[in-house]
Structure 1
Amino acid sequence: MTRFSIQDMSRQSGLSEPTLRYYEEVGLLGPIARDESSGHRRYSDDDLDAAQVLSCLRAMGVGIDDMRTYLANRRDGHEKAAEQRDILLRHADRVEEQIVTLRTHLDYLRAKAALWDARDRADAAAEAEAHVELEAVLPRLEAVLR
């Protein structure tokens, strides 16, 4: 069984050393073996696999409780497939909402930049067009800001 130092785990999983320690503390990883002479953590291949899964889930904004459930379900296999799907779809819905919000912010910023660009060029027709675009975006912006 390969044994990784915490530095190796951090590099390979993308999780910081403090995050690895925290995940061990809250029970997401571990128990982690210790070197008998130094007491340093020694991670296994299975620990690395779990850390890489946690890194992906963390990047997607999945919370600790859902991470814990997801890892437990992985161990249980096919019988927990529906629950795994539901966890992922719930977070996919949240990401989709974030995309809508970001798209609205982007549309607002572009419309506002077009307005200032038209003013900079003293182009009254382009400024009027930018105002129309801005007026179309404002209701969506107000909705996502609530």
Structure 2
Amino acid sequence: MKRSEIIVAVVDGLGGGIGKSLVEKLKKTQPDLHVRALGTNSEATGRMLKAGADDGATGENAVVVNAGKARIILGVVTILASGGLLGEITPDMARAVGESDALKILIPMERCRIKLPVEGAPVSQYLDRAMDLVADEVRRLTE
């Protein structure tokens, strides 16, 4: 598989801040991957597009359809939870992300009220580690 054929979906909502940061880091570390911004609202999608996403779409159907097309999905841990992101993640969105064959790389957030058994670290360290995991998966897909 060519690197340009690998779709990395970044799912975010609310203000799109984490999604924006993920897109910026992806485009800096893996510029030849196809980064697709999937926002639960137009503000989130817009911020990710301005950060350099190759394309994007907004809303429940966009997430549901594109989760199945992605090879890698990035977002905060609550994209797997119905009602996540202050209610912006619908049951169908959570199910589509969870059932996707894509590798899911999820960022823990203290305010999500989900505790992961990992050492508490600044979000920036989780974002950097997410880029390492993307690189590992891209190597696996292109071998």
Q: Give the alignment's TM-score, normalised by structure 2.
A: 0.27
By percentage of residues, which structure has more helix?
A: 1
Q: Give the alignment's TM-score, normalised by structure 1.
A: 0.27
By percentage of residues, which structure has more strand?
A: 2
Structure with bigger RCO (C-alpha 8 Å, 6+ apart): 2
